[in-house]
A and B are shown apart, each in its own frame.
Chain A
Amino acid sequence: MSQDVATQLREQIQQAITDNPVVLFMKGTPEQPRCGFSARTVAALEATGSPFAAVDVLPHPGIREAVSAISNWPTIPQLFVNGELVGGCDIVTEMYESGELAQTLGVEAPDGALDEAPGGEGTVPGPPPMGIENRLG
């Protein structure tokens, strides 16, 4: 990978982290995760009812390298909230189970959130989940 491509990817990813209050870097898409850890993280996020942006790291190996270089975190998925790394699958799952995730995301803790089918339309404001995928693909 040329230095230019690496720099460009890094800038785009930094931009995605800055522009999106909740952004998940994952393998595959929320609709079609390509890794069990990414799937579990998406499920936890969807269960909170919080809108989130998602970036598929698979289209280019440089995306994954750039994400890890920015976050100093070796694995995918990675969840960023308000520009900060919250964690990967283990941490997000633990936080979901303790109710901390909803708190961190600024949504009500799971009460009604669990009754709603994950990915349900209509009640959740905010950008569609795949808003930034194409920019990086």
Chain B
Amino acid sequence: MPTSEEIKIRIEAAIPGAEAAVEDLTGGGDHFRATVQSDAFAGKSRIDQHRMVYDVFGPEVGGPIHALSIKTQTRTP
């Protein structure tokens, strides 16, 4: 069962320059909300930004991570 901290570390490790805030919505280790800021989102559609975050977890989303709610922001310099 992943923790919010693990999810945060994995997102930040996988997406260049990312800063993530992750909360466990239910306390059950399977519904998370991640707010992710990164310059790597610049010029990408919202769909593609969210896919970048989902791709960090592959089939775990929908599996052990039942739900991962995402909000992405491009950091403004």
Contact = CB atoms under 8 A, between A and B. Distances in A.
Interface in B2-60: 46-47, 50-51, 54, 59
Given A72-B51, A73-B51, A85-B47, A90 B71 contact: yes
A94 B75 CA distance: 18
Contacts, number: 32
Looking at chain A's contact residues, is the secondary structure mostly helix, strand, loop, or mixed? mixed
B38 to A, nearest CB: 16
Contact of B54 (A37, A74, A85, A86): A74
Contact of B61 (A74, A87, A89, A91): A74
Nearest to A74: B61
A72 B54 CA distance: 10
A75 interface: yes
Contact of B69 (A72, A85, A90): A90
Interface string A59-86: 0000000001000111100000000011
Contact of B68 (A72, A75, A85): A75
Interface of B: 46-47, 50-51, 54, 59, 61-62, 67-71
Interface of A: 37, 68, 72-75, 85-91, 94
